[in-house]
């Protein structure tokens, strides 16, 4: 995909539904009693993978575009799938589903694409094993395919070495099937959609600081869910609106849950002209419309507890930092190396190729700006967030940028390039 620079971006848009909430709405709807109606479901490949896995376990799920109806099978109503469950490119599906499956009365095997089969699964295998699960890596390399033999589980108090919502959610979903209370403490708080949604479905869950505790035994009840736009998808348009000259964009209906909205704080710290309008709540999640205008950005320092609150936005932030005045330091973000790709490596290589001054570190990147970016061939390694971040860089660069495997954006944002084009002057 060749992307050319543009002179201006103007207009309004809505972005597709939140990926994390879309996954969880299928998972919880499937094990609830009754019929859940989901509005604004993300039809990206990752969430379709989750839907296919539950259909394979006998759950009736009807989809009409972004409207989805899940006929819940109840906590103990899932059926043994006839085949291996394919999680595609989705870490969220693989990790949370593993927790949910560990305590079932049947065995399963989970796998996915090349990227998934390289991503670390020990982080869920260890706590699940402590709960009494029988889960193993088929190749013995700590990665998928994962072989899960349904077992009797017991609650644990787990102190997680990583701030990861996938790990936390995996353990909490397993906790639904365990004897006694399960609690997870994280080093810093990761996104809390699972906690909010479990509560909304009627589970006995409480949170204090960075600890979430779940007591099993209650049935879950179906509900109506309105999914807000994904802030991780909105990020690309906020970024483009800031670095493309003469731009003004309004991204409507964006989820701004504080455990996800670290990007907004960073943009403000970088001097962005950004405002939140029309604040409201959708199914327990805060939502707003976000307006941005072209801004002279400056460098900032990003680390610590902020990192899990903007982990998926860091490639885009690095792009913005290359156009900002002064130095930006991103640290405490070694997790970037174990995402859909090694995002430290790919962002550094791509931005260097476009003329930026960027250095990879063990746990982040140091970027000195502002650089005059020029077009270059960009390796996305089929990582949707790399492709979209460099599409934004391309709009503010000189000459053509050629993004390889650009269609991978369908993982989280079907129609991304079309929407981008519609806003370019």
**Which residues of the chain form contacts with ligand S3P (CB under 6 A)?**
20, 23, 91-92, 164-166, 169, 190-191, 311-312, 335
With beta carbons less than 8 A apart as the criterion, state whether 225 and 290 touch. Answer: no
Cα-based distances in Å from 181 to 19, 193, 195, 318: 28, 20, 15, 41
Active-site residue identified among 230, 312, 342, 383? 312
| Cα–Cα nearest to 314, from 285, 286, 339, 293 | 339
**SS3 at position 76:** coil
Nearer to ligand S3P, 169 or 295 (CB): 169
Instruction: Calculate the CA 31 to chain-centre distance.
Output: 22
**CA separation for the pair 27, 219 (Å, rounded):** 14
CB of 196 vs ligand S3P, minimal distance in Å: 12
CB of 165 vs ligand S3P, minimal distance in Å: 3
CB of 248 vs ligand S3P, minimal distance in Å: 29
Nearer to ligand S3P, 191 or 223 (CB): 191
Nearer to ligand S3P, 50 or 401 (CB): 50
Nearer to ligand S3P, 169 or 213 (CB): 169
CB of 277 vs ligand S3P, minimal distance in Å: 26
Nearer to ligand S3P, 238 or 311 (CB): 311
By residue count, the chain amounts to 425
With beta carbons less than 8 A apart as the criterion, state whether 244 and 8 touch. Answer: yes
CB of 385 vs ligand S3P, minimal distance in Å: 8
Alpha helix stretches (DSSP H) within 36-146: 45-56, 91-102, 122-130
CA end-to-end span of the chain: 19
CB of 62 vs ligand S3P, minimal distance in Å: 23
**CA separation for the pair 62, 67 (Å, rounded):** 8
As beta bridge partners, residue 159 has 185
Alpha helix stretches (DSSP H) within 31-116: 45-56, 91-102
Which DSSP symbol is given to 107? -
Nearer to ligand S3P, 238 or 244 (CB): 238
Token couple for 187: 């080093």
CB of 269 vs ligand S3P, minimal distance in Å: 21
Say whether 312 is catalytic: yes
Q: Is the dihedral of CA 116, 350, 234, 14 positive or negative?
A: negative
**CA separation for the pair 235, 240 (Å, rounded):** 8
Q: How many CB atoms lie within 10 A of CB 421?
A: 10
Phi first, then psi, for residue 172 (nearest 5°) are -65, -40
Nearer to ligand S3P, 190 or 341 (CB): 190
**CA separation for the pair 94, 381 (Å, rounded):** 20
**SS3 at position 119:** coil
With beta carbons less than 8 A apart as the criterion, state whether 180 and 152 touch. Answer: no
Query: Catalytic site residues?
Result: 312
């Amino acid at each position: 995909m060749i992307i050319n620079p543009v002179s201006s971006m103007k207009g309004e848009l809505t972005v597709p539904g939140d990926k994390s909430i879309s996954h969880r709405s299928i998972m919880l709807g499937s094990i609830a009693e009754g019929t859940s109606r989901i509005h604004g479901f993300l039809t990206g490949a990752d969430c379709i993978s989750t839907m296919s896995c539950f259909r394979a376990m006998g759950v009736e799920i009807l989809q009409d575009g972004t409207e989805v109806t899940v006929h819940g099978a109840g906590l103990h109503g899932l059926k043994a799938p006839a085949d291996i469950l394919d999680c595609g490119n989705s870490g969220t599906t693989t990790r949370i589903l593993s927790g949910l499956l560990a305590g079932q009365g049947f065995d399963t095997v989970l796998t996915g694409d090349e990227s998934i089969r390289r991503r670390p699964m020990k982080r869920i295998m260890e706590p699940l094993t402590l709960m009494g699960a029988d889960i193993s890596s088929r190749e013995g390399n700590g990665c998928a395919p994962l072989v899960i033999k349904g077992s009797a589980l017991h609650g644990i108090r787990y102190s997680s070495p990583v701030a990861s919502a996938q790990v936390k959610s995996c353990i909490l979903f397993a906790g639904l099937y365990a004897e006694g209370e399960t609690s997870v403490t994280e080093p810093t708080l990761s996104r809390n959609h699972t906690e909010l949604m479990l509560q909304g479905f009627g589970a006995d869950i409480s949170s204090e600081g960075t600890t979430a505790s779940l007591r099993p035994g209650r049935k879950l009840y179906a509900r109506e869910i309105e999914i807000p736009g994904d802030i991780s998808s909105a990020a690309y348009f906020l970024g483009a609106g800031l670095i493309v000259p003469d731009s003004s964009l309004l991204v409507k209906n964006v989820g701004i849950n504080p455990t996800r909205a670290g990007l907004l704080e960073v943009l403000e710290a970088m001097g962005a002209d950004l405002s939140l309008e029309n604040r409201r709540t959708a199914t327990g999640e805060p939502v707003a419309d976000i307006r941005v205008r072209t801004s002279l950005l400056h460098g900032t320092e990003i680390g610590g507890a902020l990192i899990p609150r903007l982990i998926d936005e860091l490639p885009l932030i690095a792009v913005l930092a290359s156009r900002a005045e002064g130095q930006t330091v991103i640290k405490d973000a070694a997790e970037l190396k174990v995402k859909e790709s090694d995002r430290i490596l790919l962002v550094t290589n791509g931005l260097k190729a476009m003329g930026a001054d960027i250095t990879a570190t063990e746990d982040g990147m140091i970027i000195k700006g502002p650089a005059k970016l020029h077009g270059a061939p960009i390796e996305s390694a089929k990582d949707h967030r790399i492709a979209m971040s460099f599409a934004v860089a391309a709009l503010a660069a000189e000459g053509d940028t050629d993004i390889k495997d650009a269609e991978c954006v369908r993982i989280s944002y079907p129609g991304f390039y079309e929407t981008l084009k519609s806003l370019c002057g």
